[in-house]
A and B are shown apart, each in its own frame.
Chain A
Amino acid sequence: MAMLELRGIDKVYRSHGRPPVHAVRSLDMEVEKGEIVALLGSSGCGKTSTLRMIAGFESVTSGSIAVRGRRIDALPPARRKVAMAFEGYSLYPPLTVRENIAFALKSRQVSRSEVSRRVEAIARLVEIEDILENYPRVISGGQQQRVSLARALVRDADLYLLDEPMGQLEPQLRAVLRGRIKSLLAEREMTAIFVTHDQTEASALADRIAVMEDGVLQQFASEKELKERPANLFVASFIGEPPMNLLETEVKRADGGFRLSVGPEVAFYISGDGLDQTAQRALAAAPRVRVGIRPQRIAVGEGAVRVRIVSNQWLGDQSHVAGECAGHLLIAVVPNRVAARPGDVVPFALGPRHLNIFGADGVCIRHAEVS
């Protein structure tokens, strides 16, 4: 049995004198016990509405929400056994940091020594031991966010709901805290769902990522799967830093396979052997398709595609090389430094096996081979 089960969730906001807003559309999702799931999307994609419906701050327009097989969508928030960290922190101003964190444990049957032990353990984890006796208004935004996280994680709950949990954290601390929180969640087998617009954070923390756009779940898969095998053009153009290069190509049959040409000089040959029946048929029917290749799959300095360099930026641990090719901008990301200046012509290698092919409706016809 799944820990959390969303079935056919719809959310429509109706307000007087304005057209109704369909924030979430027939969303189905299952989250297993101990899993960490990210709801990822740009603002207005429905991710926060979804989280708030699980927490009970919004009603569902239709559909059902169940935790451990028990329907909770009609219950008030307090009886859902969920812990939540809010984007705006929502710390209680008259309480100290310690009291804020302990507050969640007070009503439960927990002894005082146990409360203080748990508060201190979680405080150490998010590095707020030194400010436990301070009041929320005197601590920085990053510290407030860590307190808010601690207050949610210290509780015993079926589900931990975190709304943009780490957006304000100090950059030097972020990577370490991500690791510690992930390790804590794994160790205690806590089930967590968090909302974020930052895919770096989603990839770092989540076991699976639900990519949402326009209220529709686009793909729900691991980070690697999203990057290597995007379900559609939206995911392909959204996921990745930077996202996939997408090129418009013309399809022609050739030698039992297909020839996808970007321009007179650049073309890819896809052999028929590697394609299943549906892909064969889809390609044969489509006059034009889009091909996508991840920037990290392009090799620089070798290959047949000649590219005029537009920019070459080294970021300390990787280089981002952008160039123009048959009217398209191609971006390659390589781990080493590249000696190329804007204006130079440099060969790029785009291996056919690394290509994803998208049909006119945006759905992926063929995925790249995962090495």
Chain B
Amino acid sequence: MAGLEIKSVTKVFGAVRTADSLSLVVEPGEIVAVFGPSGGGKTVLLRMIAGMFEPDEGDILVGGRSIVGALPERRGIGMAFQNFALFPHMTARDNIASGLRAKGRADAASRVQAISRLLKIEHVLGHMPRELSNGQKQRTALARALIGNPDVLLLDDPLRNVDAKLRYEMRLELPSLLRRGTAAVLYVTQDYREAMAIADRIAVLVGGRLEQIASPDEIYLSPASVAVARLFGDPSINLAETTPLVEHGTLFAAISGARMPLGMADTLPADRPYWLGVRPEDLGISFSAGEDAMPARVLAITPMHEKAVLLLRFEDGKEWLAALRPDALNVVADDAVFVRFAQEAVQLFDRETGLRVSLSHRRQAA
């Protein structure tokens, strides 16, 4: 029986379809990240599940039973909020225990102890929220959401308001914490790395529509659309508009002064415009010219995430980014270089629909 089932849920505010026929299943014990740009409808989706809004159409089921129309307190849902939403006039202990007392549980004290030991906040249980650091507030809010062993756990960008170091630590800790119970976890985030690190699957929500629901690997390696490809990766994927040519049964793309082989001609219709995408880490930089190399000038080098990110400008004025291992090559700003990429690294998307087009890389028999 599925933990959480969202069936073609639609929600319209004014003229905007904030949720457009969303369908998603989260199994018990599974973590699904809802990822997308702000304004994409992530928070509205979470709030419909929590019962703060009702969907206009569609159904939401928890453990096979519809919860649409049910009061929020009857839905069996735990939630952690981006702004923590702690009760400012209660101690951390009372905050965490608030759910248990409502259900009249006798073992409240021992359960609060257990969950706060797990989250390392035992020493601040007697404090009021205003006396807690941001990190402790966030852990208290998590403890409050987790303690009732809810069927569905909703986390609304819980690491947004904590500093980078703490965010990193929580990123390591959270997956095992969240998988302890059998809750179906829906984790909203605006940080693709957080989504990849924490989730079993990622649901990419753009403009009220689910663009892709898949494992982190699949989303990164074969994004369903150009929109998804642009959202994953920092720096984000390089794109060029191209209409491939066919020569001797092989597809070529003419971009920025080079002829790049793409794959076999029979795999996709030529003479149509496509988006060609190559991730910055898949670009190779050298000083040797060639037909398959795009001549470029290095505008600037901006180190990032242990890589040297090169801003390259091609002869046609287009700009791409390359992310190299810092020890890979000795390049300085203003150098003239040649840029190559392997055809396996190419992702093609239809220019009109933005959808991914698969390529076959089998080499032609020589």
Physical contact A–B (CB less than 8 Å): yes
A198 to B305 alpha-carbon distance, docked (Å): 12
B302 touches A314 (CB 8 A): no
B309 interfacial by beta-carbon distance below 8 Å: yes
- One digit per residue, 1 when the CB lies within 8 angstroms of any chain A CB and 0 when it does not, for chain B 156-181 equals 00000001110010011101100000
A200 touches B299 (CB 8 A): no
- B236 and A200 contact, CB distance less than 8 A: no
Q: A interface, how many residues as a size bin?
A: 35 or more
B230 beta carbon closer than 8 Å to chain A: yes
| Chain A residues positioned under 8 Å from B306 (CB to CB) | 241, 296, 318, 333
The reply on A180 being an interface residue by CB < 8 A is: yes
Chain B contact residue count (CB 8 A cutoff)? 45
Q: Which of B164, B196, B309 contacts A175 (CB 8 A)?
A: B309
Are the CB atoms of A317 and B233 closer together than 8 Å? yes
Of A197, A310, A311, A329, most B-chain CB atoms within 10 Å: A311
State whether A176 touches B311 (Cβ < 8 A). yes
Query: How many residue pairs bridge A and B at CB < 8 Å?
Result: 115
Given A310-B172, A316-B196, A179:B217 Cβ within 8 A: no
- In chain A, what residue has the closest Cβ to B320? A176
Q: Which residues of B contact A200 (CB under 8 A)?
A: 304-305
Known contacts A198-B164, A316-B233; is-contact A322 B302 (Cβ 8 Å) = no
Asked if B176 and A223 make an inter-chain contact with CB atoms under 8 angstroms apart, the answer reads no
Residues of A within 8 A of B311 (CB): 175-176, 178-180, 182-183
B303 within 8 A of A: yes
Partner of A182, one of B176, B198, B300: B300
Q: Which residue of A lies closest to B323 (CB)?
A: A317
Check: B68 CB closer than 8 A to any chain A CB: no
Proximity string of chain A (181-198) to chain B, C-beta cutoff 8 Å, 1 when within and 0 when not: 011001000000000011
A314 touches B168 (CB 8 A): no
Known: A175-B236, A179-B321. A203 touches B304 (CB 8 A): yes
Per-residue interface assignment for chain B, residues 119 to 158, with 1 indicating a CB less than 8 Å from any chain A CB and 0 otherwise: 0000000000000000000000000000000000000000
Interface contact A205-B193, CB-CB below 8 Å? no
B235 at the interface (CB under 8 A from A): yes
What 1/0 flags go to B286-300 for Cβ under 8 Å of A? 000000000000011
Beta-carbon nearest neighbor of B39 in chain A: A140
Minimum CB–CB distance from B160 to chain A (whole Å) comes to 13
Bound: A199/B302 CA distance, A: 12
- Which B residues are in CB contact (< 8 Å) with A186? 300, 333
- A310 surroundings in chain B (CB, below 8 A): 172, 176
- A296 / chain B contacts, CB cutoff of 8 Å: 306
Question: CB distance A183 to B299 under 8 Å?
Answer: yes
A12 sits at the interface (CB 8 A):
no
Q: How far is the CA of A290 from the CA of B198 in the complex (A)?
A: 31
Give the most central of A172, A198, A238, A320: most B CB within 10 Å: A172
Answer whether residue A75 sits at the interface, using C-beta atoms and an 8 A cutoff: no
**B236 close to A172 (CB less than 8 A):** yes
Q: B272 interface residue, CB < 8 Å from A? A: no
Collect the chain A residues with CB atoms within 8 Å of residue B232's CB: 316
- The residue on A at minimum CB distance from B196 is A315
Q: Are B281 and A311 in contact (CB under 8 A)?
A: no
In the complex, the chain B residue whose C-beta lies closest to that of A175 is B235
Answer whether residue B52 sits at the interface, using C-beta atoms and an 8 A cutoff: no
CB distance from A125 to the nearest CB of B (A): 11
Say whether B216 faces chain A, with CB atoms less than 8 Å apart: yes
> Contact at A204–B176, with CB atoms within 8 Å?
no
Other than the known A180-B311, A333-B306, what 12 A-B pairs have Cβ atoms closer than 8 Å? A174-B235, A176-B235, A178-B302, A179-B319, A180-B319, A199-B164, A204-B302, A311-B176, A314-B216, A314-B217, A317-B279, A322-B172
**22 A-B residue contacts at CB 8 Å?**
A42-B163, A172-B230, A176-B235, A178-B311, A182-B302, A186-B300, A186-B333, A199-B164, A203-B302, A205-B302, A241-B168, A241-B306, A314-B196, A315-B196, A316-B216, A316-B220, A317-B279, A317-B307, A317-B323, A318-B306, A322-B172, A335-B325
